[in-house]
Homo-oligomer: A and B are copies of this chain.
Amino acid sequence: MRTLLNRHDKIPFPENDQIHFMQQALLEGRKGLGLTSPNPPVGAIIVDDNGEILGRGFHSKAGTAHAEVKAINDVIEKFGPDRLRGTNLFVTLEPCSTQGKTPPCCEAIIRSGIRRVFAAIDDPNPDHAGAAAAILNEKGVSVTTGILEEDAKYLIRFFQKRIETGKPWVIAKTAMTLDGHTTLPPERGQWISGLESRDDVQHLRRQCDAILVGGETVRTDDPMLTLRGKYAEGREQPERIVVTAVKDLPLRAKIFNDKHAHRTHVYHAQKLESILDDLGRRGICSVLMESGGSLFSHAIGRKLIDEVVFYMAPIIGGGPNTVMPVSGIMADLEDLSVEMIGRDIRVTARVVK
């Protein structure tokens, strides 16, 4: 934790309380997951010295107000502008110090009378990192950085990957039997994973800007690749990316004919690396890859996948298809998180690069 304390100032909260308030800000920030690209999701809360939470805000769309400004406006609406004087702002990412599509948040903070800013992490852009702390402190605002850094970095991992590499964060999602089969014998029907897992996939899709599949998936499964029901509320449908080596995609496929057809993009005979670069240039920060085994193996082999989400059904064996049909390609995983989703086991992990 690094603190730039204003002269004569004393932080009114012990460290445990700072962590608690930052958790609240992170909860706000998560509400923006999948809504903010090419910006990162950010959450903020404003607390008085007695620990009362006065206002909340999260960034919900690029070009609209940032989390800090929304939290400030929330306090003004509820209590009037005077209530902001001497308060504490907890924000999951260092406030912006430069003019973007909206005025810099640092200005709004200084103008509001907020006395202290607690930021989880610095701006990942090295040109801006730490700039806010200097600007704010010069104007008499105390700044503390480095609270729940891991959680805050996790929240902006899509954004950070694109800032640093130009490519979106790629999550590969697969439903499989416990031993890696991705198809069942024909008499068992289409679905390997249970209803709860399929619902969870909607939750995952909602966080991502684009869904990527291979041409073979379009030819075989004719999927819709859309957000449904409550998962579609408050955001646009994801872009649908089809990667295909051969040109003959079925023109009657749903993704070419439904009302979101303008969101379907076909990349023909292009390298996956270049496709991801192109998606990054178009402002896409996150891609959910829902491909079959051969594209998945290829992407793992090329080190293009950042994270995997496996829904493992309580079944062993299955049909002819498997997650990684190509022998000799492998990757180590880390940061495993294992959870029961209905009758299935969901394993989420990072790919070690």
Binding site for B on A (CB under 8 A): 176-181, 184-185, 188, 297, 300, 308, 310, 314-320, 322-324, 326-334, 336, 338, 340, 343, 345, 347, 349, 351
Residue of B nearest to A317 (CB): B330
Given contacts A178-B310, A310-B178, A336-B345, contact A324 B329 (CB under 8 A): no
Residue from A177, A308, A329, A343 having most chain B Cβ neighbours under 10 A: A177
CB of A178 within 8 A of CB of B317, answer no
Residues of chain B within 8 A (CB-CB) of A338 are: 338, 340, 345
Residues of chain B within 8 A (CB-CB) of A188 are: 330
* Cα–Cα, bound, A329→B345 (Å): 21
Residues of chain B within 8 A (CB-CB) of A333 are: 178, 314-316
Residues of chain B within 8 A (CB-CB) of A327 are: 318-320
Given contacts A178-B333, A316-B324, A333-B314, contact A347 B345 (CB under 8 A): yes
Given contacts A333-B178, A340-B338, A347-B345, contact A319 B310 (CB under 8 A): no
CB of B345 within 8 A of CB of A317, answer no
Residues of chain B within 8 A (CB-CB) of A318 are: 324, 327, 330
CB of A329 within 8 A of CB of B300, answer no
Residues of chain B within 8 A (CB-CB) of A320 are: 327-328
Can you name 11 A-B pairs with beta carbons within 8 Å?
A: A177-B330, A178-B310, A180-B180, A180-B322, A297-B317, A315-B330, A317-B326, A318-B327, A319-B328, A338-B345, A345-B345
Residue of B nearest to A352 (CB): B314
Smallest CB separation, A322 vs chain B (Å):
7
Residue of B nearest to A319 (CB): B327
* Cα–Cα, bound, A280→B181 (Å): 33
4 extra interface residue pairs, beta carbon distance < 8 Å, beyond A316-B333, A338-B340, A345-B345: A300-B317, A314-B332, A315-B332, A318-B324
Copies assembled: 2
Residues of chain B within 8 A (CB-CB) of A340 are: 336, 338
Smallest CB separation, A176 vs chain B (Å):
7
Residues of chain B within 8 A (CB-CB) of A181 are: 180, 324, 330
CB of B331 within 8 A of CB of A315, answer yes
* Cα–Cα, bound, A338→B12 (Å): 44
* Cα–Cα, bound, A349→B332 (Å): 25
Smallest CB separation, A201 vs chain B (Å):
18
CB of A347 within 8 A of CB of B178, answer yes
* Cα–Cα, bound, A316→B351 (Å): 9
Residues of chain B within 8 A (CB-CB) of A297 are: 317
Residues of chain B within 8 A (CB-CB) of A334 are: 314
* Cα–Cα, bound, A178→B319 (Å): 18
CB of A185 within 8 A of CB of B322, answer no
Residues of chain B within 8 A (CB-CB) of A330 are: 177, 181, 184-185, 188, 315-318
Residue of B nearest to A351 (CB): B316
Residues of chain B within 8 A (CB-CB) of A322 are: 179-180, 322
Smallest CB separation, A216 vs chain B (Å):
18
Residue of B nearest to A310 (CB): B178
Given contacts A345-B336, A345-B338, contact A329 B317 (CB under 8 A): yes
Residue of B nearest to A183 (CB): B327
CB of A349 within 8 A of CB of B314, answer yes
Residue of B nearest to A327 (CB): B320
Contact partner, A324, options B179, B300, B308, B324, Cβ 8 Å: B179
* Cα–Cα, bound, A319→B319 (Å): 20
